Structure formats: structure tokens, C-alpha cells
A and B are shown apart, each in its own frame.
Chain A
Amino acid sequence: MVFSNLFFLYVFLPLLFAAYFIIKNDAYRRGVLVAFSLLFYAWGEPVCVFLMIGLVAADYLFGRLIGATRVQSVRKLWLTLAIVSNLGVLGFYKYLGFIIETLNAVFNVSIPMVNVTMPIGISFFTFQTMSYVIDVYREDAEVQKSFFRLLLYVSFFPQLIAGPIVRYKDIEAQLDSRSVSVSEFNEGLFRFARGLAKKALIADSCATVISSLYALTDVTLLSRWAGAVFFTLQLYFDFSGYSDMAIGLGRMFGFRFLENFDYPLISTSATEFWRRWHMSLGTFFRDYVYIPLGGNRHDQQRNILVVWFLTGLWHGAAWNFILWGLYYAFLLMFEKRVLLGWFKRIPKLAADIIGHIYTVFITVFGFAIFYFDKGLLKNLGYLFGIGTAYGTDIFTESILLDNILLLAAAVFFAIPVIPKLWERVKDRIPYTAERILKTAVVVVLIGAATVRLVGNSYSPFLYFRF
């Protein structure tokens, strides 16, 4: 199931709220959350839900085993086994086809293709289960004695299928009991409404523009750049919208998830971009790969290369994703060695302006790599005018003019204008007015999103692939 779905919004969620808030007992509430979460997952994966439960059971066992001994080598053995089994599941379901395809192509052999369909959200929940075992191993967190609590951590529906990737240690305490005030519930609802609007109103509309731009048979330079810009916006609004919804839903049940996006499109360097884009993935790789490898202390370049190779690969089993990861690895190294130092020597305003232009360009170009899993070279060539028929034509311009307000709105909301304004006036506005205003926004946004969802029944989440 996805959040931008009428069944979710108007059947699943109301029933869950009713069941959850009628019950007062913490244990029963956990039961309700787990039951609904499993139903949520089963909605899209009626069989693989058992795979997920099995994986949680395995990691629960590994956690207990690690906790049962103080002998370092034994602990390490269990950890290794846990990581191998998690990555094994991920590798089998997500990368097997890709590996076979690559082997066949490189060594000119013909290993038969295996048809495995990737369970939804496997990239997210395998990372969460690994996070639990590693945290226990590192003694950053206690061993979880209750299987149900661990199952709740992994399967909790808001973050189950498209993140954010919640580290176990961040949420450990909240698995026991939480309290939600009405005001917090309202804030959660507001956050959810924002996310839903980002997805249903902006991201889905951008998707239609992209398909009409790429449907033009005369390729023009402008249409290709416009397509890349709209894709960047779509990806941002789609994914950050999903994260907003997850954070909002979590909050309504008393969970505090860490932020996942912080207006990445206003970054002034690729380094900053990765501090603002999909932060939970970045943190995961930083804590569990980059720092253990040596971080900034030794072999930094190798570490960057490894982490961004993995980041690319995590996004999908295709070469363009790997290329995209490596593209960022090289940009980050270039920035560390040259650009950031140079920025410090020139006036701040100039550095900011150049930085913004540079970052927007590399981000849009990067997502062009990200977009084309087929015909990558040809399509990147178009961005440099290689193989384009015209610079621009009337059809490109008509599509752009038809969507110019959408573009303006998307750019406006991708920049933190409203949050900045809100910071200024917030303290001067009485709480009552604030609450009424936010409530009005909630009603309008969810209402408008509902209209759109009824209007176009088809709107899958992009991050499903990952």
C-alpha cells in the first residue's frame, strides 16, 4: 500500500486511529500497530511479508546471541553471520538478475536468468535490521528481548517501504511507550498533509510534464534540460513528500523520526547537498561504512569511493546508478581538494552565487544520469546538443508554457521561503491563530490531494524501486 492511495487515506488510517486511540494499554497498542503494519505491507506483498518477519526473527536471534556472550570473537562471528544473511537476502532479491546479466555480458557466458521479483521496501528494511544488530554489537543499544518490539521497529508502516531509514539506537526508547499530546498529533497531521500535497499535487504533475517532454520525437536541447529539471523536482517532491508523510504519521503515534531532507536544492556544493538530501541514508553509510573504514583519518579517498559506489548501487541494480554514485564520489573529492578551499578565498557572496549555480547544474545533470537506465550515453549527449534536432521548438515551448506555473510553484516550494517567513512571524502570532491557520492548510491540502488522487488513480511512488 502507498500513502497516496484512497484506501489508505479513507479506510486504513481512520480504522487504525480508531483502534489505536480507543485502546490505552501500551502492549495492546503495539499489537495494533504491528497488526496494521503487517497488513499494510501484505497489501502489496502478501507473500513476502513472511520473508520480512523471518528476517526480523533471524536478526532478533542474532541480537540475543550477541548479547549472550562477552567473548569478542564469538560476538563478531554472530555479527558477521547476521550481516551476511541480511545482505544475502538483499543481494538475492535485488541484485541477482543484475549480477547474472553483467557476468553474461562480461565473460560471454550464458547463466540462465532467475526471475525474482523484488519485495517492496527491501532496501529499507534490510538496512534497519542490520542497524539493530550492529548497534547491539557496538553496545550502542540494548539487546531487544521482545520480538514484537523489534518487529514493530522494522515493520512500522510509515517508514517501512520508503524510509527514512531509522537507526535502532535513535528509536529504541520509543518502542516501549510513547505519549502523544493533541497538539503534537496536530503537528503530525500538518506534516503529513504537507507531504501528501508534495506528492499528489507537485511530484505527480511533474511526472506528466516529463513524459510529454520525452515523448517529443524531435529532440531539442531545451526539452532535454527541461526534462532533467522537472525530474529533479519530481524526485525531490516525491521522496521528501514521502518522508514528510512518514515523519508526520510517526509523530501522530508518538515516534520521533529524524529529518530526512533539508531543502537540498539550495545547497552550494555537492558536499552540502549530501548533508541535506536523503540524510538517513547518508547517516547510515557514514556510521556503518565510512567511519569504520577510517573516515577522514586515513584512506579518505578510498572511503569516499566505496561509500558512494555503495550509495549508487543501493539506488538500483543498474549501471547508471553506480555511475551516478561514482559521479558524486569524484565531485566530493574535487570539492575537498580544490573547490571548497577556493570558495573560502573569494568573497562570500560570490562564492554563494557560484556555488548555487554550480550545485544546481551538477544536481540536475546528476539526476539525468539517474533517470536513464537505458540509452544513457545518447541521452546525456542530448544535454550537450549532440544529436538534438533543434535548440528549441514550438512544441517544447508550448509544453513549458503550459506548465510554467507548476514549475514556478515547484521551485518556490523547493526553496525555504515559507519556513524563513514563518520564523519571523511565528512568535508574534497567537497560538490560536497559528493552529487555525494550520488546520485550514491541512483541510485544503488533503482535500486537493484527494481530488487529484481520484482524478488520476495511477501514482506510484518513485522510491519503490530502491
Chain B
Amino acid sequence: MKNKIVDIVCLCLVGAVFGGTALWNLVQPNRPTVSETEKRKLAAMPELTVSSLTDGSYFAGVSAFISDTFVARDRLVGLSRRMDTLKGFDYALDGADNFVVLNPSGEQKSGDNTGTTPEDEEHAAAIDAVFDALFNGGNTASGQDERENDGPENVPTDDQNDDQNDSQNDEASNGQNDVEITPPGPDTAEGEDRAETEAPETDPAPDAAETTAPEPPAETEASAGAVPDPGDVLAGLDRGDGEDAADSAGSEPEDGGETYRALSLKLSKQKLNLTVGTGTVLYAYAESTDPNGAVVHWANSDKNVATISINPNGGIDVKAVGPGTAKLTCTIDNFKAECEVKVSELTLGVDFTPPDNDENLNADFLPDGLFIYGDAVYTQAFYSPVNANWYAKTAAYYAKLFGCRVSTVVAPVSSMVIDNPNVKAKVSDQGDILQKMRDLCDASVNFVDTYTPLYEHRDEYLFFRTDHHWTQRGAYYAYTAFAESVGLTPTPLSFFEFKVHQEEYHGSMDLYTNDTRVQSFKDSVEAFYPTKQNTMTLTDKNGKTWQYSSCINNNSGYLCFIGGDHPYTVINVPDNPQDKNILVLKDSFGNAFVPYLCEHYGNIIVVDVRWTNMNVYEQLKDYGLTDIVFINNIQAANSYAWSKMYMAAVGEKLP
């Protein structure tokens, strides 16, 4: 009897809990029809028709209606997400970035604190004092004194690297001494005519051009004995047109009764990457016994991909006409040189609609300075003059310590792309913040203007909608600014191998905001693979090392870029000069940026100071660094913690 009472009581209890929930669910007095947080209409009770009944949509609609309007749905969804964290331990491939917009000194948004307060000046004085002490010896790290002679201006000269993908820039380096200049010939058209007549005989290729008259007869090689002073000739460039060259080639045997022969042949490029509609000039460098220069023959394997014609100023014009690969073959006597022309369509990308700047729309502000606008969640920046000063001084200290060029790449965050004046009025102006940060930097630091190119391209998919990071496309424009600022020619975006790494991606904001609207936003991850082979060795937090065949890898979402945040990563690019080494000090915004450095540097060393206690200076002082670059998002660059970590990484303790 007693047991039965217990049974009944327990059953009633369960019945009360779940039956109560069920009843409340059914009769909810004011059942929501619109979700406040999701800003969408909730599924309504479907209409009962014969077709909705037979195709199952009626019943499916009822189920959706019930689950959409479940009591306290939003809270339960949040709870469910919290439960996800019980599944294991976070390996933290991605570091805890401060996308939470800290308001460092407790002031209001930067828009309001444009002026410098007396406190700021006091702080600045204090910072100066700290760094003065560091710069002028005192309790410095070992080996610092020797470096002191190097003034901050002692920045290495811009490298003369001729970037392989660069097209027009080569003229500068073409100023060789032994070039023979001959007057330009009649015109290109004639050259092309000749090309057509010569083609069948010399090369079966569909499109062939010859820059000159028939090649010297084969038997001439035998008699080519003592020829004075073989000239290094820019065939086609300086001898230029066919007419002239043909004349000389034809006349020479008569002149001296001597025949000439080629000694070597080289092309200015072995590979060309072009996008449809663009063009470039290709040069052949031939060495010949002919003192007047040599004549070369050009053949093209596919004129649907690229066309060639003689450039009146020398070389040949290569025009990209359609996607594919064509082989340009240059021959002289027995020498043959080839250039592969890869033509791609214009830069690919996922569909992206830039934010709607309708003035009737408004942003919905969440805690931590985040806000939702349209179909994306945005982060914004707060300026802290004090902390920005620490950051600037830290970079300057690195410049002095390492004696190499130091650049800072400060990544703007997503709010910069919004043009709607209503929203703009409420969020900080990052262009303004970055300008102020630049003003704080002294001449020894190359403060890269990331804002201008990103702002110019703000209609593109620069920032994730559900993640606080920039996309790799966003990082690209910062890379172009960086490359130009250090005298490198950025590789055009369309030259990279493009892949949609992940069709559907939900980023950090999804979990962080725990807001069902954000959970309904969608992202894709675009990846632009380096044009050069590279290998990546990363050391994880447990000190284990891992080898990868590319710095863009397989992990999901944003973690595909250099595998997320790890203490120490080295990327080697065998095709680049091995004495061009760059140290990257970064937060996770750097991850999407680093792959672009494979275009120029032989070794890229990436250090995430959050995850390592190593002394960067001790480890790398003899490495032969040519560059150091700091890459932080604007908020990290405005937080003292980062400066402190950077200084700690070279053995200096900030107060």
C-alpha cells in the first residue's frame, strides 16, 4: 500500500512536470508569432488542405509550429549549446582572441574621445620613460649593447627581388650595361605578317610569330671560330623588330664571310599567370656570336588562351584571351626556351551581398560592443591612446633590438564596411583610429595602411558574418598594402588557386553571442592557395611537431589557415630565396594573412606569443631575419596585454 502511494506520488510528480510543460505549451496565452531575438516570423499553424495533407507538409508544418513556439525556446537553445562544452576539452586550435571589445580605459567609444586627456599625456610620459630606459641600456637583455649603435633608421634596404609574377616592373632591372640599342623598326604589323608566312615551316603551332628573318643556316655553327666579344643581346627587346634583325642577319655573312651562332637563350619568365583580358611583355635574352644581336623565333601552342605579337619596344606582347594553359616556345638555332602561360578567369568567389545601406535599417547592439546589422554580426573597435602607444613603442623596440625592418599590420574589424550613416554614427571610425595609431609610430616602424585598400573593397566579402575574423580575401588587401610598403609586388588575387574551403561555416560569434539570429546567418570559407609549393611545420601547445604539405590545410572553418593558433610555426618556400626570412608575430587575424607571405619569403616564422614562453630574441637573433611583422586586429593592438606579451617574448617585463 505504501509502495503504491509512493508510485502514485512519483508519477504525479513526473506528470506535473512534463504534463504541465505540455499544457503550457499548448495553451500558451500569448503564443509568440514573431521571434523577438531572431527577428523572423515563427512557423505558424499550417493550413489544412488536401494537398498539404497528402504530401505530408501539413503534419511537418504542425511539428515545426510546435518546436518553433516551444516554451522558452531561446533559453533552451542556449542551454543546449552550453551542454556541447561537456563533450570534451577544448584543444583550442584557435586562441581566445579578444573579439570581445574591451573598453580598455573605461572611456566611452573612441568617437567621443578624440582629444588627448592629461591622463593620456601622463601615461605617454610613463611609457616613454620605460622605453627610454630600455633603449639606453640599463638592465637590458644580453647582447643588446652591441646593437645599440644601430640607429632606428638602420632599416635594411628594400630588396631588389624581382617578383616572379610581376609583369610590368621588370623594366627597372633590365638596365643591363651590354645591351645594344638599335633603332626601332617599322611596325609590328609587318612582324606579324612575317610570322604567318614562317609558321608552317618552322613550327606547327597554331599561332606563331617570328621576330626576324630565317635563322642562320646550320652549317654556320662549324665555322664559328673566333668571334670577338659575344654580345649579350636582348633579342626582340632591343633589336626589336624583325626587319632590322633580318637585315643584319642576312648581311653579316657577306660582310665578314663569317656566320654567327647563338650561345645561350633565356626567357624573362618561365611561367606567367594572367587573368583573361590582361597582358604582359615577355623578353628573350639570347647570347650570340653576332655582334649586332640575335634573332629568335616564337611559337605559341594555343591562341585561344593567349595571343602573342611583337612589341615595338622590344619583347613580345602576351595577351590573355581565354582560360587555360598555353606554351610559348622561343627558339634560336638549337636553343629552345619555354614559358608556360596560365590564364584564369577573373577572381572567383562565393556569392556575397554587401550590407544594405538603406537608412531605414538599424543596428541592434549586443553586449561587448557587438552589433547585428542585416545578416551579419559585427565587431567594432575602441581606441586607447595609451595602449596604442605601448604597441607603437613595442614595435619600435623590436626594430632596434633585431636591427631589421619592422612592420605593423593592424587589421580593421568588420564594422568598417558599413556605410549606413545611422550605424556609422554609433560606431567608432576605424580609419580615424588607425590614423592616430600611425601617428604614434616613429619612423623606425613601417605602419602599414590597411584601411585604405580594405575600405576601397568594402563591397567584397572581407569579413565573416558569424565570426570576428576577416576572410582571407580581407587579409589579401592588407597583404597588398604590406607588400607595396616594403617594395614587393603583390601577386594579383586571381593568380592564387581558389577554393571554397567550406560551403557552410558558422564562426565564433555563433556560440559567443548565443543569439538565434546569429545562428541563422551563414558563411563560407574561401581559400586562396599560395602559388608556390610550401611546407609547414607547426609546434603545438604540447611541444609536438607536425608536418604539413601546405600552410592552408584541412581543418574546418577559419582554422584551415596555418592550422589555427599554435605557439611556433615555420613555413618554408623552397622556390624563394632562402635568405629572405620573416618573423610574424600575430593573433589569429594573422593566420589568414601568412599564406600570402609565401609569395616572397623563403622562410616564414610565425609565433603566437599567447602560447609560448620562448625568448624570441634569443631564438632568432642569428636567424638572418629580413623582416618582422606584427599582425593584430585593431582591438588587440589597442590592448596593453599584447604589448606586454610581445615585450615578454624578448625578455623585457613591462610594468
CB within 8 Å of B: which residues of A?
1, 5-7, 9-11, 14, 42-47, 181-183, 185-186, 189, 205, 212, 215-218, 393-395, 397-398, 400-407, 431-432, 435-436, 438-439, 442-443, 446-448, 450-457
The 7 closest A-B pairs by CB, nearest first: A455-B80, A398-B91, A217-B554, A454-B76, A439-B10, A406-B87, A182-B7
| Nearest Cβ on chain A to B550's Cβ, whole angstroms | 10
Given contacts A14-B22, A395-B553, A454-B76, contact A186 B87 (CB under 8 A): no
Instruction: Name 28 A/B residue pairs within 8 A (Cβ), A-sorted.
Output: A7-B66, A10-B25, A10-B66, A10-B70, A11-B25, A14-B19, A43-B63, A182-B4, A182-B8, A186-B11, A216-B555, A395-B553, A395-B556, A401-B88, A405-B86, A405-B88, A406-B88, A431-B3, A435-B10, A436-B10, A443-B14, A446-B18, A451-B79, A451-B80, A452-B83, A454-B67, A454-B73, A456-B80
| Inter-subunit contact A402/B90 (CB<8 Å) | yes
Given contacts A182-B7, A215-B556, A218-B554, contact A10 B88 (CB under 8 A): no
| Inter-subunit contact B70/A182 (CB<8 Å) | no
Docked complex: B17-41 residues within 8 A CB-CB of A = 17-19, 21-23, 25-26
| Nearest Cβ on chain B to A27's Cβ, whole angstroms | 26
| Inter-subunit contact A189/B14 (CB<8 Å) | yes
| Nearest Cβ on chain A to B237's Cβ, whole angstroms | 45
Residues of chain B within 8 A of A186, CB atoms compared: 7, 10-11
Looking across the interface, which residue of chain B has its beta carbon closest to that of A394? B546
Looking across the interface, which residue of chain B has its beta carbon closest to that of A13? B22
| Inter-subunit contact B56/A44 (CB<8 Å) | yes
| Inter-subunit contact A455/B11 (CB<8 Å) | no
Of A5, A183, A395, A450, the contact of B93 (CB 8 Å cutoff): A395
In the complex, whether B116 has a CB less than 8 A from a CB of chain A is no
A14–B64 Cα gap in the complex (Å)?
18
A455–B3 Cα gap in the complex (Å)?
37
| Inter-subunit contact B63/A5 (CB<8 Å) | yes
A1–B25 Cα gap in the complex (Å)?
19
| Inter-subunit contact A6/B67 (CB<8 Å) | yes
Looking across the interface, which residue of chain A has its beta carbon closest to that of B80? A455
Of B54, B80, B90, the contact of A454 (CB 8 Å cutoff): B80
> Can you name 9 extra interface pairs (CB under 8 A) apart from A393-B546, A439-B14?
A5-B67, A7-B66, A10-B70, A11-B25, A46-B55, A46-B56, A395-B93, A439-B10, A453-B67
Max count, chain B CB within 10 A of own CB: residue among A395, A402, A431, A436: A395
| Inter-subunit contact B56/A455 (CB<8 Å) | no
| Inter-subunit contact B88/A394 (CB<8 Å) | no
Docked complex: B65-89 residues within 8 A CB-CB of A = 66-67, 70, 73, 76-77, 79-81, 83, 86-89
A429–B102 Cα gap in the complex (Å)?
55
Residues of chain B within 8 A of A401, CB atoms compared: 88-91
Chain A interface SS verdict (over half): helix
In the complex, whether B641 has a CB less than 8 A from a CB of chain A is no
Given contacts A185-B11, A394-B540, A404-B89, contact A432 B2 (CB under 8 A): yes
Given contacts A393-B546, A395-B554, contact A455 B91 (CB under 8 A): no
Given contacts A402-B89, A406-B88, contact A182 B11 (CB under 8 A): yes
| Inter-subunit contact A454/B7 (CB<8 Å) | no
In the complex, whether B363 has a CB less than 8 A from a CB of chain A is no
A1–B22 Cα gap in the complex (Å)?
17
Max count, chain B CB within 10 A of own CB: residue among A215, A394, A405: A394
| Inter-subunit contact B555/A395 (CB<8 Å) | yes
A6–B66 Cα gap in the complex (Å)?
7
| Inter-subunit contact A450/B54 (CB<8 Å) | no
Residues of chain A within 8 A of B8, CB atoms compared: 182
Looking across the interface, which residue of chain A has its beta carbon closest to that of B58? A46
| Inter-subunit contact A455/B83 (CB<8 Å) | yes
Residues of chain A within 8 A of B26, CB atoms compared: 10-11
| Inter-subunit contact B62/A7 (CB<8 Å) | yes
| Inter-subunit contact A448/B76 (CB<8 Å) | no
Residues of chain A within 8 A of B81, CB atoms compared: 455
A10–B17 Cα gap in the complex (Å)?
11
Given contacts A6-B66, A6-B70, contact A394 B563 (CB under 8 A): yes
A425–B395 Cα gap in the complex (Å)?
68
| Nearest Cβ on chain B to A142's Cβ, whole angstroms | 35
A439–B12 Cα gap in the complex (Å)?
10
In the complex, whether B130 has a CB less than 8 A from a CB of chain A is no
Residues of chain B within 8 A of A454, CB atoms compared: 67, 70, 73, 76-77, 80
In the complex, whether B59 has a CB less than 8 A from a CB of chain A is yes
| Nearest Cβ on chain B to A212's Cβ, whole angstroms | 7
A42–B54 Cα gap in the complex (Å)?
9
Residues of chain A within 8 A of B73, CB atoms compared: 454
In the complex, whether B227 has a CB less than 8 A from a CB of chain A is no
A393–B321 Cα gap in the complex (Å)?
43
Residues of chain A within 8 A of B14, CB atoms compared: 189, 439, 442-443
In the complex, whether B6 has a CB less than 8 A from a CB of chain A is yes
| Nearest Cβ on chain B to A402's Cβ, whole angstroms | 4
Given contacts A10-B22, A395-B563, A402-B87, contact A46 B554 (CB under 8 A): no
In the complex, whether B538 has a CB less than 8 A from a CB of chain A is yes
| Nearest Cβ on chain B to A204's Cβ, whole angstroms | 11
| Nearest Cβ on chain B to A48's Cβ, whole angstroms | 10
In the complex, whether B366 has a CB less than 8 A from a CB of chain A is no
In the complex, whether B125 has a CB less than 8 A from a CB of chain A is no
| Inter-subunit contact A394/B538 (CB<8 Å) | yes
Residues of chain B within 8 A of A394, CB atoms compared: 93, 538, 540, 544, 546, 555, 563, 566
A405–B88 Cα gap in the complex (Å)?
5
A442–B80 Cα gap in the complex (Å)?
18
Residues of chain B within 8 A of A10, CB atoms compared: 18, 21-22, 25-26, 66, 70
Given contacts A182-B8, A183-B4, A454-B70, contact A218 B56 (CB under 8 A): no
A398–B560 Cα gap in the complex (Å)?
13
Residues of chain A within 8 A of B89, CB atoms compared: 401-402, 404-405
Of A47, A216, A452, the contact of B80 (CB 8 Å cutoff): A452
Residues of chain A within 8 A of B90, CB atoms compared: 401-402
Residues of chain B within 8 A of A46, CB atoms compared: 53-56, 58-59
Residues of chain B within 8 A of A218, CB atoms compared: 553-554
A81–B279 Cα gap in the complex (Å)?
78
A406–B58 Cα gap in the complex (Å)?
37
| Inter-subunit contact A216/B554 (CB<8 Å) | yes
Looking across the interface, which residue of chain B has its beta carbon closest to that of A45? B56
| Nearest Cβ on chain B to A406's Cβ, whole angstroms | 4
A395–B6 Cα gap in the complex (Å)?
52
A392–B76 Cα gap in the complex (Å)?
36
A96–B21 Cα gap in the complex (Å)?
45
In the complex, whether B13 has a CB less than 8 A from a CB of chain A is yes
Looking across the interface, which residue of chain A has its beta carbon closest to that of B69? A6
Residues of chain A within 8 A of B58, CB atoms compared: 46
A277–B25 Cα gap in the complex (Å)?
38
Looking across the interface, which residue of chain B has its beta carbon closest to that of A182? B7
A457–B3 Cα gap in the complex (Å)?
39
Of A7, A183, A455, the contact of B63 (CB 8 Å cutoff): A7
A205–B90 Cα gap in the complex (Å)?
16
| Nearest Cβ on chain A to B517's Cβ, whole angstroms | 16
A47–B80 Cα gap in the complex (Å)?
35
Docked complex: B231-263 residues within 8 A CB-CB of A = none
